Amino acid sequence: MIKRQSGIRREPMEKARGGVGVAIFDHILEKTEMRANCRMFTKITLEPAASIGHHQHTDEEDIYYIVRGMATVTDNGQAHTMYPGEVMYTGSGQSHSIANEDTEPLEFVSIIMTYQPLER
């Protein structure tokens, strides 16, 4: 399968997970396009001062890969700064958040894999 950029669904989300501002979700692949238990493969853009609020994952794991910009994250309550090429892994029962406190847009890829079979 080849998927062109024109086929990627864009979804703006205000106050994602209790965050601030608008997060732009570019769904690289929809869960119906993948056979594995992957519920999200998405590039997310946060403009300056935008964030995705603190949240916990249960029976799934989330990976953030920073593509562009500087991220301020919490990983199980501990604050960190992340840069392009760096990865944060959040397993089941763990929690995290991400914010753009810089003056340039922040872009990162999020992959959420579940332990349970997905309804397609």
| Rounded (10°) CA dihedral 62, 65, 68, 73 | 50
Neighbours of 58 (CB within 10 A): 9
At 22, the amino acid letter reads V
Model confidence band, residue 106 (pLDDT cutoffs 50, 70, 90):
very high
- Render pLDDT for 52-65 as a digit per residue (tens, 0 to 9): 999 999 999 999 99
The span from the CA of 25 to the CA of 42, in Å, is 6
The length of the chain in residues reads 120
Contact assessment for residue 69 and residue 51, using Cβ atoms and an 8 Å cutoff = no
Is the whole-model pTM more than 0.85? yes
pLDDT at 119 over 90: no
- Render pLDDT for 3-40 as a digit per residue (tens, 0 to 9): 999 999 999 999 999 999 999 999 999 999 998 899 99
The span from the CA of 80 to the CA of 97, in Å, is 10
